[in-house]
Amino acid sequence: MLVRDSDQGVQVFLMKRAQKSNFGGIWVFPGGILEKQDQEIATEDYCNGLCETEAKDVLSNDSESLPYWIASLRETFEETGALIANRNDNNVFIPTTIESQRLVELRSDLLHGKISFIFILDELKLKIALDRLVYVSHWITPKVETKRYTTRFFLAPLNEGFILTHDGIEGTDSKWFGIDEALRAHEVGTISLIMPTIKNLESISDFKNTEDLMRAKAIVKTEDIPAIEPKFFIKDGRWEGLLPGEQGYEDH
C-alpha cells in the first residue's frame, strides 16, 4: 500500500487489473508473486534496513521471510514506476531528470524480460530500502477459489513526488485515492474492490498524515497480525462471507 500526504489528507495508490488477469477489472494495491531473483537479492548486498533474521522475527520464521519485502518493492517498481531505494551514501533515492528518463527505459526493458531488477540496481548504484516498509496484514485466499495465495501486505509512504503510472499490461488504469473516497467509490459501484483491499483501507482510514499512520502501524506487535482466511458459502441462493471471529465462522 503506497500512501502519500495531500491537501485532502492521506491518499493511497490503486490500480485496475486487466480484464484477462487474475482479479480482472478489480482495483488493487501494487503487488505480485515471489520470484527466484528475490531470493538472490536477499543473499546479495542489494538491501538496506532489514536482515533475514529480523524479517523472520516479524513473519514467525517463514522460510521466505526477507523475499516478501524484496518482492513488494520490486513489484511496486514494475507496476507503478516508483523505486523505493537508497543511494550508496544511504540518502533516499530521488531521481534526477536524467535518471527519471532512464528509469522509464529500464522499466520497459524489465517488463519485456530484457533485463532483471538486479541490473537496474547495479546500473543506478542503489539498494532497495526495506526499512521504509511496515508489515500490516496477512490474508489467505478462501478455499472456494481455484487459485489460492498467502499474501503479505505492507505499507510504504511515498512523498518524494514520483509520478506513478500503471504498466499497461497487468494494470490498465490507476489513481491516487483518498482512503474514504476509495471506499465510497466501491460502495456506489464506481470501482470494484475485494475484501482484503477493503479491510486494509479501513485499517488506515483514520489518520491525518502518513507520519502518524506509519508510526501507529510500526508499533503493532507481530502476534497481533494473524493470518486472515475468509470463508464463503451459499446461503438462500446467495454467496455469504465471514471473517475469523465473526459469528458462524467456525461452522463453515
Does the reported pTM lie above 0.95?
Answer: no
* Statement: residue 61 has pLDDT above 80: no
Q: How many CA atoms lie within 13 A of 88 on its CB side?
A: 5
Q: How large is the angle between the packed helices 36-43 and 65-80, nearest 10 degrees? A: 120
The x, y and z cell numbers of residue 122, run together, are: 547495479
Q: Which CATH superfamily is domain 2-227 in?
A: Nucleoside Triphosphate Pyrophosphohydrolase (3.90.79.10)
Residue 73: exposed, middle, or buried by beta-carbon count in 10 A (0-12, 13-18, 19+)? buried
Q: Give the pLDDT of residue 136.
A: 96
Give the percent of the chain with pLDDT over 90: 71
Q: What is the pLDDT of residues 148-163, one digit of tens each?
A: 888 999 999 998 878 8
